[in-house]
């Protein structure tokens, strides 16, 4: 877990894939949803006159004579008292106070003097008698009015609702409205007013009205001699005062809005007549326009639109969560390909521990990602996901998706060898499966009237439950649909009980499927780790007559020693007993990589495995460290069987793989701390051991830098340091100096020599460098085609397989080579010309010829042919020469095998070509 933490904090690409990309796709879904037309039922609308441009010009007019009723006067009085017009300034207003504030100050009154020019224009048309102002003309399809049109200037009040209330008493309202319609001051700012007209009853109080009142009073048993006030009061109840509400129909709610203002004024006027102590700010009437109920067709259309948006949101979430498990796959592929995973197993990690640790960390990382998504849903108030019954469902759905998809990635990682390829391909596969399965069932649902398609959809819904991607996408869609249905039904259906999305036929079955998928996939990942699906040793039989007929006597002697000492009385640290590895091929063409190898390595010995690529060196190391199984035979480390006691074997070995099994995002110190913990070293001792190893391998200056900044040499030093952790009895080093410069090689050689000579550690190395083997190895073997061809010390192999001496002669002219060759072969019949090129000639002389004789003849030749021979060299056959001779055998076998395969392929092609013959 600590290792994953250090890796994660430096993993920028992982942060983008696990956090940034999911957030972007979630935001995309929210933006599209918010921008989409809202087909839901519109909210109720409060009708008031403050929707238009400010200020709002309103007028009121009382009659000129004394005929205005008390009610009219009371109503007019409320216009100029708080709360003034409508319900904007009442105590419990329903209006938004931020949008429609109330001015907390007294209402201001302004008297305006009419200019002399206007008065002259009005007098010229006898305005005081006719109440008709100067007429307007039509010019260029527009009304143009002279000065004085509309009448004199009017006084006004500024109310605490920020409106301008004109007093038009004595004005001709129609004349003023028509002739000032296009005045810029009033344009789109004047939408209504009030005109209090004289009471016609008071103007026509005659014998008819008197008779009507007397009859009413007689009916109510009142005396006809009562005072006239009672008669007038009754008359007002029978004939209320006439008040006109003007409105401009260009303001669509103007009629109702201004009528409601009058109703409020009337209410407050009546309240104050009976009791002047009443606070009229506590009273008001709010006019509200409620939308008409939707039709069935509108409801279906709205539900379909809503379902489409919900499907889009589910698709975006599928996109968002497709990258998170794919990013976990990158780490798994990288650890497997670089053999870092195997190195951890060699260091003591159990298979189940490895996968459980990965699952816990990946789930924790995944939970951080889904927490970010949930926060976004809460910020933007996506009700379909944060509603009280849906929130728990969403949490379970997202978590269980991660619980199921992450172990699935553990299984898939075995199919990839390149992390980037795995990430891209699996991301696309996750998206593809999620889209196809979710959209296909949604489309089939739209044809619910067709029985066949409905049946097919029902089958697909059950079949697709095996895919975590479908369970997620379909679950999100069904959850949103359930919320939409509940919301609609609660509004229109009395006594409706909301449906829980956790029901089995909605999202419940998806959750159950995800839970069991997680368990099954994780169990399969554990079984795959323990090679449950790979045939055991008995299924891959060892070929007959595998033992070589011309085995070297040293190799045979070592085999006999191993056979005759089954109890390891010679105390070999490592014993290989008839190791065999057979790889299965197509059509039964098995390949035997290692063929019954036997050898024992003693304490303090450096043992070398030489061979070209494909000779079986790395395969031998993989079997000894438990990376691959043995087809036959066995190996023992400190008498612990690799087959039966692998855990005990791994406690006694250190391993430096051929390719650096390092995490590029960790430092050298973090690597050593990590493997020290795996080896079971006490925490208090880890810093000291780490510092010692860093100093011993010369990595102190680079200890706290990420590995991706290291050179190839420093990486190999770190791999060597890891192999030394835990004080192992034997260390396997697979080409430890590959890619290192000469200085770094010498440094590492000295480290290995100290291990074998001073610390008495056994070391087994594979190498292509003969110089390295000569420097380090006490004994070595040369492997060819999986077999040991020779065994012994370097000097022993030179003496046994050296085949004499090498003679190199250089002439001054190419044309003189024939003369020199004839002379040498005449004097030394045992000398064989091996190679000639330009001025150089390469002879091989057997050991039967003494060095004294060779040097004597060469000196004589230089004297006799001094004009031809420039110089010569005589050396003992090198280890390189011996290695090349053995390697040629394997190369010739490979060429012969390839040629045979090519011939077989050609014959097969020819046979297929001759099937159809020309007529």
Whether residue 308 sits in one domain with residue 240? no
Query: Cα–Cα distance between 752 and 765 in angstroms, integer?
Result: 10
Whether residue 273 sits in one domain with residue 300? no
Whether residue 75 sits in one domain with residue 6? no
Whether residue 318 sits in one domain with residue 268? no
pLDDT beyond 70 at 235: no
* SS3 label, residue 631: coil
Mean pLDDT of the chain: 84
Q: Looking at the domain assignment, is residue 884 inside a domain?
A: no
pLDDT, position 902? 46
Which of the four pLDDT bands, split at 50, 70 and 90, describes residue 809? confident
Whether residue 455 sits in one domain with residue 377? yes
Tokens 């900044």 correspond to 709
Whether residue 489 sits in one domain with residue 428? yes
604 φ/ψ sector (left φ>0, alpha ψ -120 to 50, else beta): left
Query: Cα–Cα distance between 664 and 330 in angstroms, integer?
Result: 13
Q: How far is CA 297 from CA 300, 301, 448, 494, 768, in A?
A: 5, 6, 17, 21, 82
pLDDT, position 889? 65
What residue numbers bound the domain in which 523 lies? 2-37+296-529
At 731-761, the pLDDT tens digits run 999 888 887 888 888 988 999 999 999 889 9
- Last residue within a domain, chosen from 289, 309, 324: 289
pLDDT, position 252? 86
pLDDT, position 918? 35
- Weakest mean pLDDT among 220-224, 265-269, 361-365: 220-224
pLDDT, position 481? 87
- Last residue within a domain, chosen from 496, 529, 562: 529
pLDDT, position 548? 62
- Last residue within a domain, chosen from 529, 558, 592: 529
Averaged pLDDT, 6-30: 89
Query: Cα–Cα distance between 25 and 23 in angstroms, integer?
Result: 6
Whether residue 203 sits in one domain with residue 179? yes
Which of the four pLDDT bands, split at 50, 70 and 90, describes residue 587? low
**Which residue would you say has higher pLDDT here, 815 or 770?**
770
pLDDT beyond 90 at 543: no
Averaged pLDDT, 423-446: 91
pLDDT, position 271? 83
Burial of 489 (0-12, 13-18, 19+ CB in 10 A): middle
Tell me how many helices (H) and strands (E) the chain has: 32, 24
Q: Which residues contact 837 (CB under 8 A, 6 or more apart)?
A: none
Q: Which residues contact 859 (CB under 8 A, 6 or more apart)?
A: none
The DSSP letter of residue 61 is E
Query: If DSSP states are collapsed to H, E and C, what string results for 222-248?
Result: CCCCCCHHHHHHHHHHHCCCCEEEEEC
pLDDT, position 668? 93
Which of the four pLDDT bands, split at 50, 70 and 90, describes residue 503? very high
Note whether 653 and 745 are within 8 A (CB).
no
Averaged pLDDT, 713-739: 90
- Weakest mean pLDDT among 252-256, 699-703, 824-828: 824-828
Which of the four pLDDT bands, split at 50, 70 and 90, describes residue 909? very low
Averaged pLDDT, 623-646: 91
Which of the four pLDDT bands, split at 50, 70 and 90, describes residue 618? confident
pLDDT, position 576? 93
Which of the four pLDDT bands, split at 50, 70 and 90, describes residue 205? very low
Q: Which residues contact 771 (CB under 8 A, 6 or more apart)?
A: none
Q: Looking at the domain assignment, is residue 172 inside a domain?
A: yes
Q: Looking at the domain assignment, is residue 125 inside a domain?
A: yes
Q: What are phi and psi of 326, to 5 degrees?
A: -65, -35
pLDDT, position 334? 92
Which of the four pLDDT bands, split at 50, 70 and 90, describes residue 470? very high
At 855-876, the pLDDT tens digits run 888 888 888 877 788 888 888 7
**Structure tokens given for 783:** 């492997």
At 175-195, the pLDDT tens digits run 999 988 888 888 888 999 999
Note whether 469 and 513 are within 8 A (CB).
no
Looking at the structure of the chain, the number of domains it has is: 3
Nearest CA to 724 out of 756, 700, 701 is that of: 756
Whether residue 219 sits in one domain with residue 360? no
Which of the four pLDDT bands, split at 50, 70 and 90, describes residue 365? very high
Burial of 810 (0-12, 13-18, 19+ CB in 10 A): middle
Please give the model's pTM, rounded to 2 decimal places. Answer: 0.70
Q: Looking at the domain assignment, is residue 772 inside a domain?
A: no
pLDDT beyond 50 at 915: no
At 140-151, the pLDDT tens digits run 888 888 998 888
Query: CA 8 from chain center: how many Å?
Result: 14
Beta-strand runs (E) in 134-254: 137-139, 142-144, 156-158, 164-167, 190-196, 243-247
Q: Looking at the domain assignment, is residue 180 inside a domain?
A: yes
Q: First CA to last CA across the chain, in angstroms?
A: 74
pLDDT beyond 70 at 602: yes
Which of the four pLDDT bands, split at 50, 70 and 90, describes residue 68? low
At 287-305, the pLDDT tens digits run 999 887 777 777 777 777 7
Q: Looking at the domain assignment, is residue 562 inside a domain?
A: no
Whether residue 311 sits in one domain with residue 188? no
Which of the four pLDDT bands, split at 50, 70 and 90, describes residue 261? very high
Whether residue 164 sits in one domain with residue 92? yes
Averaged pLDDT, 638-650: 92
Averaged pLDDT, 424-433: 94
Whether residue 313 sits in one domain with residue 254? no
Q: What is the CATH number of the domain that holds 862?
A: 3.30.70.1650
Which of the four pLDDT bands, split at 50, 70 and 90, describes residue 901? very low
pLDDT beyond 80 at 673: yes
Whether residue 307 sits in one domain with residue 246? no
Q: Looking at the domain assignment, is residue 761 inside a domain?
A: no
Q: Looking at the domain assignment, is residue 406 inside a domain?
A: yes
């Amino acid at each position: 877990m600590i290792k994953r933490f250090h890796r994660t904090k430096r993993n920028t690409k992982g942060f983008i894939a696990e956090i940034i990309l999911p957030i972007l796709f979630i935001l995309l879904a929210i933006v599209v949803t918010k921008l989409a037309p809202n087909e839901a039922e519109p909210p109720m609308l409060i009708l008031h006159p403050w929707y238009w441009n400010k200020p709002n010009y309103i007028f009121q007019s009382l009659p000129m004579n004394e005929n205005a009723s008390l009610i009219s006067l009371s109503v007019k009085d409320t216009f100029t008292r708080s709360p003034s017009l409508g319900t904007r300034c009442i105590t419990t207003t329903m209006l938004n106070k931020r949008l429609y504030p109330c001015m907390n100050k007294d209402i201001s009154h302004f008297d305006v003097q009419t200019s002399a020019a206007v008065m002259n224009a009005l007098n010229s048309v006898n305005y005081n008698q006719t109440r008709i102002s100067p007429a307007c003309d039509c010019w260029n399809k527009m009304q143009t009015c002279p000065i004085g049109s509309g009448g004199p200037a009017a006084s006004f009040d500024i109310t605490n609702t920020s409106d301008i209330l004109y007093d038009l008493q004595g004005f001709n309202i129609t004349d003023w409205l028509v002739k000032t319609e296009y005045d810029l001051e009033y344009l789109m700012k004047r939408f209504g007013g009030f005109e209090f007209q004289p009471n016609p009853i008071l103007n026509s109080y005659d014998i008819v009205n008197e008779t009507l009142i007397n009859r009413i009073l007689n009916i109510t048993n009142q005396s006809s001699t009562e005072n006239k006030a009672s008669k007038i009061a009754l008359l007002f109840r029978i004939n209320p005062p006439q008040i006109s509400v003007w409105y401009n129909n260009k303001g669509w709610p103007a009629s109702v809005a201004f009528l409601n203002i009058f109703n409020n004024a009337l209410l407050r006027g009546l309240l104050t007549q009976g009791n002047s102590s009443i606070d009229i700010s506590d009273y008001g009437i709010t006019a509200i326009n409620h939308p008409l109920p939707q039709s069935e067709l509108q409801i279906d259309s709205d539900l379909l639109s809503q379902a489409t948006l919900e499907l889009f949101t589910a698709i975006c979430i599928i996109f968002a969560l497709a990258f998170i498990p794919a990013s976990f796959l990158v780490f798994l592929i990288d650890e497997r390909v670089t053999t870092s995973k195997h190195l951890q197993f060699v260091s003591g990690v159990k298979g189940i521990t490895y996968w459980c640790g990965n699952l816990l960390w990946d789930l924790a990382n995944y939970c951080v990602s889904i927490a970010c998504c949930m926060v976004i849903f809460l910020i933007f108030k996506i009700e379909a996901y944060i509603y009280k019954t849906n929130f728990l469902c969403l949490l379970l759905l997202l978590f269980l998706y991660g619980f199921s998809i992450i172990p699935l990635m553990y299984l898939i990682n075995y199919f990839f060898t390149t992390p980037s390829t795995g990430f891209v391909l699996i991301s696309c596969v996750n998206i593809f499966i999620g889209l196809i399965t979710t959209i296909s069932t949604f489309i089939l649902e739209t044809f619910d009237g067709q029985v066949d398609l409905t049946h097919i959809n029902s089958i697909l819904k059950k079949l697709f439950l095996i895919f975590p991607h479908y369970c997620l996408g379909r679950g999100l869609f069904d959850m949103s649909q359930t919320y939409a249905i509940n919301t609609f039904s609660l509004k229109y259906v009395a006594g409706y009980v909301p449906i829980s999305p956790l029901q089995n036929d909605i999202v419940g079955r998806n959750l159950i499927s995800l839970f069991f998928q997680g368990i099954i996939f994780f169990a399969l990942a554990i079984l795959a780790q323990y090679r449950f699906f790979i045939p055991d040793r008995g299924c891959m039989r060892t070929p007959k007559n595998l033992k070589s007929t011309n085995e070297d006597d040293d190799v045979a002697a070592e085999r006999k020693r191993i056979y005759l000492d089954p109890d390891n009385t010679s105390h070999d640290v490592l014993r290989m007993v008839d190791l065999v590895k057979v790889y299965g091929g197509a059509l039964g063409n098995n390949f035997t990589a290692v063929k019954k190898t036997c050898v024992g390595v003693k304490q303090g010995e450096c043992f070398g495995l030489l061979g070209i690529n494909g000779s079986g060196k790395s395969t031998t190391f993989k079997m000894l460290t438990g990376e691959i199984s043995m087809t036959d035979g066995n190996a023992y480390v400190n008498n612990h069987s690799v087959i039966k006691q692998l855990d005990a074997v791994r406690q006694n070995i250190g391993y430096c793989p051929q390719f650096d099994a390092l995490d590029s995002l960790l430092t050298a110190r973090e690597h050593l701390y990590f493997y020290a913990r795996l080896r079971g070293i006490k925490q208090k001792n880890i810093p000291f051991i780490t510092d010692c190893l860093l100093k011993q391998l010369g990595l102190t200056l680079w200890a706290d830098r990420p590995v991706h900044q290291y050179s190839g040499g420093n990486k190999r030093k770190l791999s060597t340091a890891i192999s030394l952790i835990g004080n192992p009895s034997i260390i396997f080093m697979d080409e430890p100096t590959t890619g290192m410069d000469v200085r770094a090689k010498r440094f590492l050689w000295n480290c290995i020599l100290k291990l074998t000579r001073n610390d008495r550690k056994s070391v087994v190395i594979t190498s292509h460098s003969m110089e390295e083997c000569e420097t380090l190895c006490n004994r070595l073997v040369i492997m060819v085609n999986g077999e040991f061809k020779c065994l012994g010390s370097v000097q022993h192999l030179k003496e046994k397989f050296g085949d004499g001496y090498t003679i190199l002669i250089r002439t001054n002219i190419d044309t003189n080579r024939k003369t020199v060759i004839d002379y040498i072969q005449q004097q030394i019949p045992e000398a064989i010309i091996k190679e000639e090129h330009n001025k150089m000639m390469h002879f091989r002389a057997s050991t039967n010829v003494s060095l004294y004789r060779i040097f004597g003849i060469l000196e004589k030749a230089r004297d006799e042919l001094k004009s031809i021979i420039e110089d010569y060299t005589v050396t003992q056959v090198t280890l390189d020469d011996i290695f090349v001779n053995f390697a040629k055998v394997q190369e010739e076998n490979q060429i012969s095998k390839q040629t045979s395969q090519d011939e077989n392929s050609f014959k097969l092609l020819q046979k297929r070509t001759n099937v159809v013959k020309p007529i």
